[in-house]
Amino acid sequence: MSIIEQRLHELGLQLPEATPPLYHYVPVTIHQNVAYISGQVPRINGQIPFPGKVGQDVTIEQAAELAEYCVLKALSCLKAQIGSLDQVEQILKLTGYVQVVPNFYEPSKVLDAASALLEKIFGEKGRHARTAVGVATLPSNTPVEIDFIIALKGENR
């Protein structure tokens, strides 16, 4: 078991199965040891557990839980591409989109759950830059979508 897989186990976390995208794109692109992970939505068994807008249909706590699931989905896609999450050198950046009602000014609270989870998993390597944006709509009426930029160890890929 890899170091990061051991850490996930200690945290009581399990990566979901990496699933193929629903549309015409790839989940992960790697260029010069940097992985760009496509926007992840918290689809579980084909469904969004808490659909709708944060501040109306979805609480900050529910959206934060979905943001954590987006992290696990992203790591699952990355692991499928590179074989081991021990190859992560540094989480560089997250861009998170939160579907919100007008006058909701706390998308950062939702994204803090994703940021905190990455730090729990990777330690200092999990600390990253971040953008949190409130938006009017997201695919499948999901409250949260997050994309990731991650530096990898090793030879140029």
How is residue 3 written in tokens? 């170091």
Q: What integer pLDDT is reported at residue 23 of this predicted model?
A: 87
Q: What pLDDT is stored for residue 84 in this prediction?
A: 96
Domains and CATH numbers, the chain: 3-152 (3.30.1330.40)
pTM over 0.85: yes
Q: What is the pLDDT of residue 80?
A: 96
* pLDDT number for residue 156: 56
DSSP 3-state percent helix, strand, coil across the chain (nearest 5) = 35, 30, 35
pLDDT at position 19: 85
pLDDT value for 154:
82
Say what the pLDDT of residue 138 is: 98
> Which residues lie closer than 8 Å to 123 by C-beta, 6 or more apart?
none
> Is the separation of the CB atoms in 63 and 106 below 8 Å?
no
Mean pLDDT by 10 residues, the chain (157 residues): 94 93 92 97 95 98 98 98 97 98 96 98 98 97 98 80
